[in-house]
Structure 1
Amino acid sequence: MNHLILGNIPLLGLILGILFGMALYYAGATNRIVISNMLKLKDLTLMKIILLAIGFGMTLTYLGVIFGIVSLDHFSIKPMNLGVVLGSGILAIGFGLIGLCPGTAIASFGAGYLKSIYVILGGLVGAFIFTITYPVFKNIGLFKDVYGGKTTLIYLSDKYVFLIGGTPIVGVFIGIAIIIVSFIIPHSLSEK
């Protein structure tokens, strides 16, 4: 059975991608106006949905670890470096100005907002330029680990720096807390 699942990983990825795109569409995350209103704190409905999804996913993941369904060996922690910080800043500025990021742009294009092709093409051009300039950025030290390198929120193993000690049950409690926050925050922080 595992051989069949592993043998069809591209198909599984396609199916999960389509399902994720449908979830983005259903949540309103393919509409740049909805995203823009969330970022302007005019309508926090999408933010509430995102927090609920993060909390739910975190709770299920750590429950899976506790009950032995999910192995900690499957966790892959990416290192923190100045390149990540700068890249995140560029993404945040573009996301704030346009109301789309690469993932939502693809789903938005699939939902019929054809102008999102410019965001998709911009991402591809940016990735190409990054690939060409990577050796230069690496030589100037842009990708040296900072802030502890591979840092996790919760202790996973001795090979990672962590911010909060404890067992996976801490992850369950944090996930539940995020779910509670998703229900507590209002739908808007600004006057309409």
Structure 2
Amino acid sequence: MGPIIPNGLIPIEWDSIIAIFIGICFGFVLESSGFSSSRKLAGVFYGYDFAVLKVFFTAALVSVIGIYYMDYLGYLDIGQLYVHPTFLWGAIIGGAIMGVGFVAGGFCPGTSLCAVAIGKLDAWVYVLGILIGVFIFSELFTYIEPIYDGYFLGNITLMDSFGWNPYWVILIFSITAILAFAFADRVRKRVRKVFY
């Protein structure tokens, strides 16, 4: 990871302190937005609250547009960005386990820690479950390592895999986000009519 503040304005030794400050600000924003509430997060799956979907879709969209715009202007080299390696089976199985945990507990790992910070008991139970899961995973790792490392695809992106033009992907992603927002609003209104 490169320095958070470029050109030596602040010594690199301060990066950890700045990162902690950014984390505290992020947690404050999460809590202020109501994302430490398991009801708000579970609302996506039950159809009565799509704030999480909208926030994360918007964050992804703003990030990808900003990154490619900065690359276009020459302030950033996309080729130098780190792309996490893809292990297909690990991603599929891990995603399914996290999805079940998200629906059952109403938290993702980040929001659960935010809720722990303000003293929510259900979040404490959720985080305890995460720690137990991490312990079980580490104890069984030698047995499940072939699955964990299975079907390694390298450091790829969708654009690399299919040879797509990134600007078309961004346009399609933007249209998908708008359609998802419209669909989510229709579902929310329909669910409110049924239950309220």
Aligned pair partner of 1:68 in 67, 74, 77: 74
Output the aligned Cα RMSD: 2.5
Conservation of the 8 A alpha-carbon contact between 1:83 and 1:142: yes
Measure, in 1, the Cα distance between the counterparts of 2:15 and 2:89: 33
Q: Percent identity?
A: 20
Where 2:87 maps in the other structure, the secondary structure is coil
**How many residues were matched structurally?**
183
Q: Which residue of 2 aligns with 1:135?
A: 142
- Show the counterpart of 2:3: none
Distance 1:42 1:75 in 2: 37
**3-state SS in 1 of match to 2:157:** strand
* Counterpart for residue 164 of structure 2: 165
Q: Which amino acid in the other structure matches residue 49 of structure 1?
A: V
User: Shift of residue 26 of structure 1?
Assistant: 2.8
The answer on whether the counterparts of 1:59 and 1:171 sit within 8 Å (CA) in structure 2 is: no
Secondary structure of 1:180's counterpart equals helix
Alignment of 1:4-15 (within 5 A): 4-15=10-21
- Where does residue 83 of structure 1 map in the other structure? 90
1:126 maps onto 2:125 in alignment: no
Q: Which runs of 5+ in 2 are unaligned?
A: 1-6
Question: Within 2, Cα distance between the matches of 1:92 and 1:130?
Answer: 17
| Cα separation, 2, equivalents of 1:178 and 1:66 | 23
Aligned pair partner of 2:100 in 93, 96, 100: 93
2:53 is equivalent to residue 36 of structure 1: no
- 1:184 matched to 2:190? The reply is no
Structure 1 residue 21: Cα displacement: 1.4
Is the 1:154–1:165 contact (alpha carbons within 8 Å) kept by the matching residues of 2?
yes
What amino acid does structure 2 have at the position aligned with 1:44?
F
Unmatched 5+ stretches in structure 1 = 156-161
After superposition, where does 1:140-159 map in structure 2 within 5 Å? 140-145=146-151, 148-155=153-160
Match among 39, 45, 54 for residue 51 of structure 2: 45
Q: Name the stretch that deviates more: 58-67 or 87-96.
A: 58-67
Could you list the runs of 4 or more consecutive aligned residues of structure 1 that deviate by over 4 angstroms after TM superposition?
Answer: none
Q: Which amino acid aligns with 1:75?
A: Y
- TM-fit CA distance, 1:174: 4.3
Q: Compare the two structures and name the one with the higher helix fraction.
A: 2
Paired letter, 1:6: I
